[in-house]
Chain A
């Protein structure tokens, strides 16, 4: 079970990081969302995995799950929603203002002046890295 959770976290992290490194805003946002999933599960798992144990006090329960990571992750989920929402809207506004959803739109302009190789094409500044 531990291996399943750990590999799940790993796969989500890897997918998130890969998308984070894309050249357009939308994949970056999705990547960030995946990364928050991974981080939430990570935080949750630091309380160790348990099944069929309540986080609610009752007279019949003999043992409990660790409630502290759960409380932390609960707020983390809500906050990551807030973050995703702000970034999405930021990306949207940037797209409406600039007419392109490239992540590095600003740097391509400046890079062109300095680097003769910058073709000015989409994502050129980043691709040379």
Chain B
């Protein structure tokens, strides 16, 4: 479990800096450092096992059915990288404490840094490649945060975006490649995959997988042609550049190539792709670096070049090249990180990183100068420094590797890269620290506090130590390279002196050539300026801009905010899908015997079609449309009766009434006419779409109806009486067999009513309320607002309607009826009182809180269902029994009755809440109406005590005089 802790510690610790920054910057840095140190110590406890050649494993199942498990393993390679990440991370944390200014949010910085650290350690220790991909993406994300840390700098934000776009794209490619790899090997565990090298290379999917995985590695490690993001990422604070862009993140791609080389390397494809890319990157990166005036830009391109070098070495695929590559990773991390830190120091102390404005710092900043000089000479590959050793080995390998049969190409280009490398290293030293002292530095330079120079100094000590005593690194390099090669290594010795070899000669040429280049820097700079220089950022921006413009074009075309357009597209798509299915299917006629069509249904059909045509013609006159819709609803109710569906007929007719009342109330506020707006073409197009969809839907149902089928309803018919206790199968299905659906449905209905309430209640404030208050009725009002006949009739009918409602409710289980219909009938009875006697009058007499009614309905239904638990049966299981009361016949009681009461109450509450609130809105706009039952008062004034027409709560009282 130690392994898991090494990975998890940084993630857990990432919470701390944000909290402890309140305790001060030192406490914050100290905590962050302790977290890293603890992880490092944990890692070091594994040293004996790793050097003994063991592979430490740990982990647990996460999503085993996806092949995604949290498994870690530690071998030489993982140990090496984890050690680099944690130890350099520790130095960076110390350095950053002094580098960041007081105005920078340090807590954030350390939190991001730890997240990144955890993700990196996760990559190098993951056994499961899916888990590795998760960490891989996490490094992209956390590095995005780190690069864009100075949010106020546009360059930082752009650099962060570019880095995320490029590495994120590579990450996607990597995911695809890894999935292929896992499929070939039959496991997503690296330890298993590494055993299947031969199988993978023989697979026809080898090349796609290789290309996709290398796509991820090359983007992450800034290999040509993806190298352009790295220099732009240098807008980050220097600690970030030193950490991410020299020692860790850019090495993730290289790590993965090293990790995968036992299975992927050794083929021609691998050699030509990887080695050539590495070679090109090395030469191009070094050439650009030579002319960069920005110190961090110079170092960034030199990093690109060195990454190319390592990539090339791994591309060779030989054990010795792997040893050289591993050794160079170690050396590069030490000297490059130290160089970044010195660049940061120079920037910090002089206020500029522009080589043209610097020079002569040696006397002013002796410590920094010493550190930078040693590190830069190591980068140049001067003897007795560690860079020399690995560069010699690289040149040696290059000198002995033919490229496409030609033995000269590799050594020549490698030497060329080395020449540039020497030149820019010397430039970093001589143009910045040596030469005449200037008097126009932006700030007066001096050596930084110890906290800033100790970390690079420590690294430089390593540079010298390894350079002088290379055998110190021998055990580490052996165990790491062993893991990379995946086979026993040949005998080798890290040493300074190998005799007069070709590599030594190439080194000498490189040093001399580099010195010459620097001496004639101006001339070569003119030469460079004369050459075409493709600017990667402009190309990248143009590409991204083009993609964005294309996306906008598509979005604007399809998704321009016009509902009509969406609906038109939607209908057209449905028609197209239906037409395709129709054309490609069979067209045999159905075999079911058709039903005869007597005269009455034909008449009904004519009414229905006539109503539809009427709506089409008169739909601009909205009131008339509503009348026709009402007719349509009635025809449907009759059709339901005719076609053996009494329950549906009852429901349809009562819903129809409620709907029309609702639409009428709403229409009160809406314009009464629709203007003619659409062009003829548009109407024609809509007509075609409508006709096609009508034809499709009609045709489909015709096809269905003319074919026989097996219904599952035989079950419901058979079980309704014996198990549901009711003879009305429709109702039994609703409250029993499909009771859970119904339960959900009444909840939906209740929510709909509450949404309506919220919408209408909100209309009483803001612009809507102002519009309501200044409302001028656009139609003449009836002179007699509460017609006597209607008032009397509705009041007489109320008790009758209620009785009918209860009757329908009670018979519902055995005869057509039930909670839904009864609820609607009762609601209509109440609504009629509102309509006839006015809102105010009805409101004062209706002491029912509709919100509570909805809630009670849902609760009662729910409790009834839950009651089954008491009997130890599942939710909504029903039961029934027969009871005998005195003076009454034997009658049946079923638990679903309680459920139906819930439905009943919810329906009443919902309908009433919606309608009553619409009427309330209407009342707001009107001149005060008499709250009396009738405008005409049949009783003398002194008899009326309670119903004082106190012109009352109407908020629109001031509008009285207007109309």
Contact = CB atoms under 8 A, between A and B. Distances in A.
A53 B644 contact: yes
Given A51-B644, A85-B914, A23 B595 contact: no
Interface string A59-80: 0000011111011011101111
B751 to A, nearest CB: 9
Given A15-B615, A49-B595, A49-B705, A20 B694 contact: no
Contact of A15 (B639, B690, B720): B690
B288 to A, nearest CB: 41
A14 B695 CA distance: 8
Interface of A: 1-30, 33-34, 37-38, 40-42, 44-58, 64-68, 70-71, 73-75, 77-86, 88-93, 95-97, 99, 101, 103-104, 106-107, 110-111, 114, 122-123, 125-127, 129
20 contacts: A2-B594, A4-B602, A5-B701, A6-B705, A9-B698, A14-B693, A23-B564, A24-B674, A24-B675, A37-B632, A47-B711, A49-B643, A50-B643, A58-B727, A75-B734, A78-B651, A79-B749, A97-B767, A125-B561, A127-B677
A13 to B, nearest CB: 4
Interface in B915-933: 918, 921
| 9 tightest Cβ-Cβ pairs between the two chains A and B | A10-B698, A14-B694, A107-B561, A6-B702, A96-B768, A18-B690, A1-B595, A67-B729, A71-B733
A22 B727 contact: no
B636 A41 contact: yes
A89 B754 CA distance: 12
A5 B638 CA distance: 13
B716 interface: yes
B729 A57 contact: yes
Contacts of B918: 89, 92
B711 A126 contact: no
B539 to A, nearest CB: 27
B678 interface: yes
B556 interface: yes
Nearest to B756: A89
Interface SS of A by simple majority: helix
B678 A23 contact: yes
B317 to A, nearest CB: 55
B612 A11 contact: yes
Interface of B: 556, 560-565, 567-568, 571, 592, 594-597, 601-602, 605, 608-609, 612, 615-616, 619, 622, 625-626, 629, 632-633, 636, 639-640, 642-648, 651-652, 655, 658-659, 662-663, 666-667, 669-671, 674-675, 677-679, 682, 686-687, 689-691, 693-695, 697-702, 704-706, 709, 711-713, 716-717, 720-721, 727-731, 733-734, 738, 741-742, 745, 748-749, 752-753, 755-756, 759-760, 762-763, 766-768, 771-772, 814-816, 820, 824, 907, 910-911, 914, 918, 921
Contacts of B658: 81
Given A2-B702, A5-B701, A17-B693, A81 B730 contact: no
A3 to B, nearest CB: 7
Given A81-B911, A95-B669, A127-B682, 15 more contacts: A1-B601, A3-B702, A13-B694, A14-B690, A15-B616, A17-B686, A67-B720, A74-B734, A75-B820, A78-B749, A83-B752, A86-B755, A86-B759, A93-B762, A107-B563
A119 B571 CA distance: 27
A93 B571 CA distance: 27
Nearest to B686: A21
